[in-house]
Amino acid sequence: MTSFPSSSPQAYEIRVSGHLDARWATRFDGMTLTPTDGGITAIRGVLADQAALHGVLRQLRDAGLPLISVLPLDTRSPS
Amino acid sequence: MTGPLITTKFHVPARRTSSVSRPRLTERLAVGARLVLVAAPAGFGKTSTLTEWLATLGDDTAVAWVSLDERDDDENQFWLYVLSALDRALPGVGTAALDLLSSGTSTVEAVLATLINDLDAHDAEAVLVLDDLHAVDNPAIHAGLGFLVEGLPANVRLVVATRTDPPLSLARLRARGELVELRAADLRFTPDEASRYLNETMGLTVDDDDVKALGDRTEGWIAAIQLAALSLQGRDDAAAFIAGFAGDDRYVVDYLIEEVLQRQDEAVRTFLVETSILSRLTGDLCDAVTGTTGGGGILESLDRANLFLVPLDDRREWYRYHHLFGEMLRARLLDERPERVGELHRRASEWLERDGQTAEAIGHALDGGAYERAAVLILAAMRTMQQHRQEATLVQWLEQLPREVVRATPGLSVGFAGVLLSSGRTDGVEALLNDAEDAVGGDAESIRAVRAGVALYRAAQALTRGDLDTAFRQSATAVELADGGGHIDRGSATGLHGLVLWARGDLVAAEASWATSLDSLYRAGHRSDMIGGSIAMADILLARGRLRDARDVYARGLEVAAEIDPARRGAADMYIGMSEVLREQGDLEGARRQLAAAEGLGEYAGMPQSRHRRRMAAAGLAQAEGDPASAVALLEDAERLYTPDFFPEVRPISALRARMLLAAGRVADATEWVRRRGVAIGDDLSYLREYDHVTLARVLLATGRVDDATRLLERLRDTAEEGKRGGSVLETLVLTSLAHQRAGRTDAALTTLRSAVALAEPEGYLRVFADEGEPMGRLLAALTKRDGSTPYLRRLQTATVGARIPQASRQGLIDPLSDRELDVLRLLGSDLGGPEIARELVISLNTLRTHTKNVYAKLGVTSRREAVRRAAELGLLTSR
């Protein structure tokens, strides 16, 4: 069982509904946007800590983007 | 507040002609419930639904509206707007609460309790709407809202529109049927509503299949359907457009906004993107930002075309962008013209500064990275914001400035340190003060001001740490440096220095420092602070045994309080202090009246400390009137309500309670206090523990440990005399005389009492004698016999014997002891042997034995030691 210390950098994959334009990348500095099947976009990247994660989620909320899932990624094998 | 209130935040949005009427929703809102929650993501028509509902309410329902934004995430600012909104809707309702809020010395609970009372009294139907509550993150604000919701009278409803469920015990309210909710599922357009919107409101021709396709793709999301409608306008190929849209995977808002933007000309597109940085738009401001003209005209045409603008007033002067649209535009700006962003913010900041919207100007300066500019603006706004207790906002701003910028301006470093301290934070304060010292320069006045600030804050920090030596040095420096400054600077420095001196037990110097402070604060116009300082001044005078001067300080405080407003803060504290002086001087009626005046001002009218101080004063009064049991109960209340302040704790409630326990005859409980408090006769004596130790001496007397008590009292008197604490000297003399009496040393008792009376008479002390009851009564009688009667002695005697209920009925025994038996009992409590007791009482040894047998029988004991113990428990050997 891996532990996820909340104050150290961690890679996340956040899935939202709708394919996002490339221009969204500037909003989510340092994260990649990958459109996937079913009209879902996977936003992936390393976030400094919980506060940074909540910051991204808040931006998604304010943009009206329906949130589907938030998963920590094993940094050794980014899929 | 930096600048006046932004009135557009109170504006109740008008019904848009382009909205579809949805009675199915407004009917649900019509159900009476304490809290209405409208929770859904952006673009679901929350605000529109609310405005439709509000329009159905009659004229007799007052509506208070606050449009919240992230700057309202500051407790003071948030409540300022909420209270102001309510006051605008129900004139007069928020006034008292706003007063309390702006005083800065109240708790939010107290402010809200006052508001709730006023709302209840007002009786009119009212609705308070908080739009965009998700902008507020601060848990303290949510706690306050929870308090408000619980206390709302039946005639008031709270309505909240938000993108995030607020932490407001929703489950509990739901279960109690006190919550009405509209959620995304409720707010979505039904196919019928979508059809009506497209075909009737927007004048398009969309058949049922296409409506369904559109609805499926957008899932009834109103913002998306509105955007689709805008895209369909002027198109022949509605069906083709919808098919293309339905078959596309792009995020619907991206797709549709793109569509609509494409149909605008270049100038408008640029306008939209560049002005997206503004939270509120008006023609002039837009022109300043874009560097063009005609902004007003563009806004008007956008408004007429129903494109993305929400009017913020009735005059079509100020607008904002629909939230989603604004988000998209800002994203485009970042993507297309990132290099322009800083410049756009700077222009906005300059215009807003000229317009007097300082807080907005600072926000833009920070957002645009114009840190030097922001620093200048913040520095200028700092004092005003501190006065209005908006420390939270200041801290937020200052934390966004790069360290070098703060460091370069000593005034900012010092101010930042001060604001952190006010917020109860010490992290980084020392570093900031060091920065300020290092960077200090400029003219003599600037240097003085910075050094004075640094010294003051270092002193405050040291004081909270308990490092009195550092606090002394630093506050002394602050006082020196304050000499060239204004009244406020002098008032603060001498006040803090006075506190330090007081805590160190140097009462003479403390008194002098406070006198300067009160004078300076008064001249500076800081009436409330002056009255607050008066409490300290009076406490010091009382410690010094100057009852009359203390009374003058309270009287002056009341005069000053009346100068500002009859019910002004601090008056309650003056009444309470006055009542304690009058009580001591034996004017119990007067003391009662003063206490009633304090109570009449309300629970929250004084400083936060007045809540426990009032109960302490009431306890003293109860005890003087012969009801120590009530006194104990009042002090238990006081302990619960205790809020500490910066004053040294020279009269701990628990010690006062221990004294009342003795008065009530609960000697065992008082002894328990001694154990828990950890006071012992071997302790080092200090001013800060004096009250505890004198209380210990009283307990020792009550438990018959007369010698220990006498020795302790002697030491206490010595330190009190050294420290010029006349009040304590007097009390120790009184107790010492009683100790001598208990030990049978009548001469010593009378000599000591004589000194006490001489000390007490000029100041009019009375209760210090009278509270000791019967034993003191006998001593006073003996003194009168020996020295001759005087008016003062007669007053003391009357007060000492007169108020007491006859001994027998207070004994708590089925078969009370006779006076003679009581005499025997008291001497049983001394170190004297049988023959000596008999000689003392001038009776035969046989008679003594008979009395003793009767005493044991009535007390239900079988030994002398048990008899003494039982007697102490029952308060028969009464002492305090």
Confidence of residue B185 (pLDDT cuts 50, 70, 90): very high
Pull the structure tokens for residue B98.
């706003």
Say how far apart CA A53 and CA B809 lie, in whole Å: 73
Whether B612 and B638 have beta carbons less than 8 Å apart is answered as: yes
pLDDT at B164: 92
Pull the structure tokens for residue B307.
């494109």
Q: Which residue has the higher pLDDT, B370 or B485?
A: B370
Q: Which residue has the higher pLDDT, B253 or B873?
A: B253
Confidence of residue B3 (pLDDT cuts 50, 70, 90): low
Whether B594 and B582 have beta carbons less than 8 Å apart is answered as: yes
pLDDT at B126: 94
Say how far apart CA B195 and CA B204 lie, in whole Å: 10
DSSP string, B252-314: HHHHHHHHHHHTS-HHHHHHHHHHTT-SSB-HHHHHHHHT-S-HHHHHHHHHHTT-SEEE-ST
Residue B96's nearest CA partner among B85, B112, B72, B81 is B112
The CA distances from residue B613 to B256, B471, B572, B608, in Å, are 65, 27, 10, 9
Residue B695's nearest CA partner among B731, B659, B725 is B659
Say how far apart CA B479 and CA B490 lie, in whole Å: 7
Say how far apart CA B591 and CA B582 lie, in whole Å: 5
pLDDT for B123 beyond 90: no
pLDDT at B430: 93
pLDDT at B812: 63
Residue contact B251–A35, C-beta within 8 A: no
Residue-wise pLDDT for B660-690, tens only, equals 999 999 999 999 999 999 999 999 999 999 9
pLDDT for B880 beyond 50: no
The CA distances from residue B17 to B35, B52, B201, B233, B861, in Å, are 28, 11, 8, 17, 93
pLDDT for A1 beyond 60: no
Q: Which residues pair with B65 in a beta bridge?
A: B129
Q: Which residue has the higher pLDDT, B334 or B601?
A: B334
Confidence of residue B336 (pLDDT cuts 50, 70, 90): confident
pLDDT for B803 beyond 80: no
pLDDT at A3: 60
pLDDT at B802: 55
- Contacts of residues B851-854 at CB distance under 8 Å and 24 or more positions apart, as own/partner, are B851/B820, B851/B821, B851/B824, B852/B824, B852/B828, B854/B821
Q: H-helix or E-strand containing B423?
A: none
pLDDT for B131 beyond 70: yes
- Beta A10-17 vs A67-73: how paired, if at all? antiparallel
pLDDT at B150: 92
pLDDT for B697 beyond 60: yes
Confidence of residue B550 (pLDDT cuts 50, 70, 90): very high
DSSP string, B458-472: HHHHHHHHT-HHHHH
Whether A23 and B335 have beta carbons less than 8 Å apart is answered as: yes
Whether B187 and B46 have beta carbons less than 8 Å apart is answered as: yes
| Mean pLDDT value across residues B139-154 | 93
| Mean pLDDT value across residues B782-806 | 82
Residue contact B251–A18, C-beta within 8 A: yes
pLDDT at B872: 77
For residue B250, give the nearest of A18, A62, A64 by CB distance.
A18
| Mean pLDDT value across residues B463-491 | 92
Burial string for B103-122 (b: 16+ CB within 10 Å, else e) reads bbbbebebbbbbbbbbbeeb
pLDDT for B366 beyond 90: yes
Please tell me what DSSP assigns to residue B854: H
pLDDT at A75: 59
Residue contact A62–B335, C-beta within 8 A: no
| Mean pLDDT value across residues B319-326 | 90
Using a 10 angstrom Cβ sphere, with 0-12 exposed, 13-18 middle and 19 or more buried, the burial of residue B637 is: middle
Rg, chain A, Cα only:
12
- Distance from first CA to last CA of chain A, Å, rounded? 20
Say how far apart CA B847 and CA B851 lie, in whole Å: 6
Residue contact B253–A17, C-beta within 8 A: no
Lowest average pLDDT, out of A28-37, B36-45, B712-721, goes to A28-37
Whether B709 and B700 have beta carbons less than 8 Å apart is answered as: yes
Say how far apart CA B585 and CA B579 lie, in whole Å: 10
A28: closest chain B residue by CA: B331
pLDDT at B601: 80
Lowest average pLDDT, out of B98-107, B212-221, B823-832, goes to B98-107
pLDDT for B804 beyond 50: no
Confidence of residue B805 (pLDDT cuts 50, 70, 90): very low
pLDDT at B617: 97
Residues 147 through 176 of chain B touching chain A, CB cutoff 8 Å? 163-164
Confidence of residue B728 (pLDDT cuts 50, 70, 90): very high
pLDDT at B567: 52
pLDDT at B194: 94
Say how far apart CA B631 and CA B628 lie, in whole Å: 5
Lowest average pLDDT, out of B18-22, B424-428, B731-735, B792-796, goes to B18-22
Contacts of B327 in chain A (CB under 8 A): 62-64
Whether B396 and B420 have beta carbons less than 8 Å apart is answered as: no
Q: Which residue has the higher pLDDT, B238 or B276?
A: B276
Alpha helix (H) residue ranges in B90-237: 95-103, 108-122, 139-151, 170-175, 184-187, 191-196, 208-218, 222-232
Residue contact B163–A63, C-beta within 8 A: no
Whether B214 and B245 have beta carbons less than 8 Å apart is answered as: yes
Q: Which amino acid is at B192?
A: D
pLDDT at B876: 74
pLDDT at B103: 73
Residue-wise pLDDT for B740-752, tens only, equals 999 999 999 999 9
Say how far apart CA B102 and CA A78 lie, in whole Å: 54
pLDDT at B551: 96
Contacts of A37 in chain B (CB under 8 A): none
Q: Does B257 touch chain A (CB under 8 A)?
A: no
Q: Does B369 touch chain A (CB under 8 A)?
A: no
Confidence of residue B811 (pLDDT cuts 50, 70, 90): low
Total CB pairs under 8 A between chain A and B: 57
Q: What is the pTM of this model?
A: 0.73
pLDDT at B807: 41
pLDDT for B432 beyond 70: yes
DSSP string, B778-821: HHHHHHHHHH---HHHHHHHHHHHHTSPPGGGGS--SSPPPHHH
The answer for residues whose C-beta is within 8 angstroms of residue B818's C-beta and 6 or more apart is none
Q: Which residue has the higher pLDDT, B580 or B603?
A: B580
Burial string for B823-851 (b: 16+ CB within 10 Å, else e) reads bbbbbbbbeeeeeebbebbebeeeebeeb
pLDDT at B808: 39
Residue B321's nearest CA partner among A62, A57, A24 is A62
- Distance from first CA to last CA of chain B, Å, rounded? 52
Residue A72: phi and psi, rounded to 5, are -75, 145
Residue B820: phi and psi, rounded to 5, are -65, -40
pLDDT at B2: 54
B interface test, pick of A56, A60, A65 with most B CB neighbours within 10 Å: A65
pLDDT for B566 beyond 60: no
Confidence of residue A67 (pLDDT cuts 50, 70, 90): very high
pLDDT for B352 beyond 90: yes
Q: Which amino acid is at B561?
A: A
Using a 10 angstrom Cβ sphere, with 0-12 exposed, 13-18 middle and 19 or more buried, the burial of residue B405 is: middle
Please give the share of chain B, as a percent, with pLDDT higher than 70.
96
- Contacts of residues B206-213 at CB distance under 8 Å and 24 or more positions apart, as own/partner, are B206/B232, B206/B238, B206/B242, B207/B239, B210/B238, B210/B239, B210/B242, B213/B242, B213/B243, B213/B246
Chain position carrying tokens 């109740």:
B12
Pull the structure tokens for residue B623.
């005890």
Residue contact B331–A23, C-beta within 8 A: yes
From the CA of A19, how many Å to the nearest CA of chain B?
4
Which of helix, strand or coil describes residue B585? coil
CA atoms within 13 A on the CB side of B836: 10
From the CA of B514, how many Å to the nearest CA of chain A?
47
Say how far apart CA B152 and CA B333 lie, in whole Å: 45
Residue contact A62–B43, C-beta within 8 A: no
Whether B112 and B83 have beta carbons less than 8 Å apart is answered as: no
| Mean pLDDT value across residues B577-585 | 96
Please tell me what DSSP assigns to residue A65: P
Say how far apart CA B685 and CA B610 lie, in whole Å: 29
Residue-wise pLDDT for B524-540, tens only, equals 888 888 988 999 999 99
Alpha helix (H) residue ranges in B341-443: 341-354, 358-367, 371-387, 391-400, 403-408, 410-422, 429-439
What is the dihedral angle through the alpha carbons of B703, B707, B710, B714, rounded to the nearest 10 degrees? -140
Lowest average pLDDT, out of B254-258, B539-543, B679-683, goes to B254-258
Say how far apart CA B745 and CA B643 lie, in whole Å: 44
What is the dihedral angle through the alpha carbons of B159, B165, B170, B174, rounded to the nearest 10 degrees? 70
pLDDT at A78: 47
Chain position carrying tokens 């200028």:
B380
pLDDT at B839: 82
Average pLDDT, chain B: 90
Q: How many CB atoms lie within 10 A of CB B666?
A: 22
Say how far apart CA B516 and CA B528 lie, in whole Å: 16
Q: What residues in chain A have their Cβ under 8 A from chain B's Cβ atoms?
A: 16-21, 23-24, 26-27, 35, 39, 41, 61-66
pLDDT at B10: 94
